[in-house]
Amino acid sequence: MDLLKAMVRAMAEKTTVLEEENAALKARSLDADARIKRLMQILKAYDRAGLGGAQRSWEPLRSVLTRRQQQSFVFEEIETGIAALRAQVGKGSASGETRAPGPGKGFAPHLERVEVVLEPEDLPEHAGREKVLIGEDVSERLDVIPARFRVIVTRRPKFAFKDADGVIQALAPAHIIESGLPTEALLAQISVSKYADGPPLFQQEGIYARDGVEIDRRLMAQWMGRVGFELEILAAHVLGEILKGQRVFADKTSLPTLASGTGAVKKAWLWAYARDDSAFGDGGPPMEAYRFEDSRSGECVRRHLGGYGGILQVDGYAAYNQLVRKDGGNAGPRLSGCWAHSRRRFYELHAAGDSQVATDFSTTSGYHIRRRMSASPIEAA
């Protein structure tokens, strides 16, 4: 009888513990749900505020890039927090996570496929039986092979002839960095990382050091200078092809730059010229060229666009007016205004409530004008 009473008490205590654990799990789940709901509201608020949207008409390109990077960081951190809370509630389950595309959707066809076949285990009761394949389940997961360094060893044997003078040997191949460490593939890796993806040379120095490869940032800077020199011909060719188009878009943005020899920060300028005639039936690829200058004077524009006679879309900066002949001749380009800049002042007056005309233009007239402009083909002179 005492043993039975002890078992009943133990079961009652275990039931109490389980109920307490269940209540704690429910409370944690409710708290996590509330936090997830709050984070989702923050994401929606960011989206409604247009913080991830396009460039504002008054905003320099550099500010747009900085703003987008900061906002991307916020979005990523919020999404990471939501996923962590969901994993905590589900004890690591993938509930609520976005699944990778299955065989129906598929990953990009150019990706290498590595087939892994998992055969069922042969059990003793299967002995003597013939297996017949009736189907299979297929899943795809995205994998990556981390970048790795290797050393290219090039040997050029020397040969002599018996009973004859002379030595023969293959010529050494030409390289961008003669008698240097990097191959052209490594130079491309460093260049794309620095100028397209963002990591500066000092960060790349640390990344490569993790693989036991020590490349000083100053050495990489010298390499980048050499690469830039070798690419000048290509850059000039791209700008030349852009200026062959009937329509060219031009813009500029300030760029903080270290002054040579002093280390002080000064303001420089990056001029951008783009061409994309796909909307006008031209099958050529879109192109964009950049020119770095210490100023934004009209002399820079004349040097970059001298001789161009097509349509030049600009933001109203006065330097572009120097390209147009004052007598209305056809020697220079035709300036085309920017719609965003044109409507900016109207919108500012509308937002301030200072002008009913501006309000009508911003809410109705401007919209209809833009729709007609988008629907009508533009004929170049």
d(C-alpha 358, C-alpha 366), whole Å: 9
Residue 84 pLDDT: 72
DSSP state of 344: H
What separation in angstroms does the CA of 179 have from each of 71, 174, 199?
A: 44, 10, 27
| Nearest Cα to Cα of residue 273 among 225, 231, 233, 320 | 320
pLDDT in tens, 111-120: 999 999 999 9
| Nearest Cα to Cα of residue 114 among 145, 86, 152 | 145
CA 87 to chain CA centroid, nearest Å = 28
Inform me whether the pLDDT recorded for 310 exceeds 50: yes
pLDDT in tens, 127-184: 888 899 999 999 999 999 988 999 999 999 999 998 888 899 999 999 999 877 899 9
Residue 315 pLDDT: 83
Contact 242, 273 (CB under 8 A): yes
Query: Which is higher by pLDDT, 85 or 101?
Result: 85
Query: Which is higher by pLDDT, 64 or 24?
Result: 24
Mean pLDDT of 101-113: 75
Contact 341, 278 (CB under 8 A): no
Residue 187 pLDDT: 96
d(C-alpha 71, C-alpha 95), whole Å: 26
Mean pLDDT of 270-288: 85
Residue 301 has phi, psi (to 5 degrees) of: -65, -45
Residue 206 pLDDT: 94
d(C-alpha 117, C-alpha 100), whole Å: 20
pLDDT bin (cut points 50, 70, 90) of residue 59 is: very low
Query: Which is higher by pLDDT, 248 or 281?
Result: 248
Count other Cβ atoms within 10 Å, centred on residue 289. 21
pLDDT in tens, 347-377: 777 777 778 877 777 776 655 666 665 555 5
Residue 71 pLDDT: 63
Residue 68 pLDDT: 61
Residue 113 pLDDT: 93
Residues 6+ apart with CB under 8 A from 374: none
pLDDT bin (cut points 50, 70, 90) of residue 88 is: low
Q: What angle do CA 355, 356, 359 make, to 5 degrees?
A: 95
3-state secondary structure of 223: helix
Residue that has been written with the tokens 């039975």 in this structure: 4
Q: pLDDT over 70 for what percent of the chain?
A: 71
> How much is the mean pLDDT over the chain?
79
Write down the domain spans for the chain. Answer: 247-337
Inform me whether the pLDDT recorded for 257 exceeds 90: no
Residues 6+ apart with CB under 8 A from 57: 338, 340, 341, 343, 344
| Weakest-pLDDT range from 89-103, 131-145, 205-219, 365-379 | 89-103
Contact 248, 332 (CB under 8 A): no
Total number of residues shown for the chain: 381
Please, what is the end-to-end C-alpha distance for the chain in angstroms?
A: 107
Residue 308, both tokens: 């161009």
Contact 286, 278 (CB under 8 A): yes
3-state secondary structure of 183: coil
Inform me whether the pLDDT recorded for 304 exceeds 60: yes
Residue 69 pLDDT: 63
Q: What residues does 334 pair with on adjacent strands? A: 311
Model-level pTM?
Answer: 0.63
Pairing of strands 247-258, 311-313: parallel
Residue 325 pLDDT: 66
Residues 6+ apart with CB under 8 A from 219: 181
3-state secondary structure of 64: helix
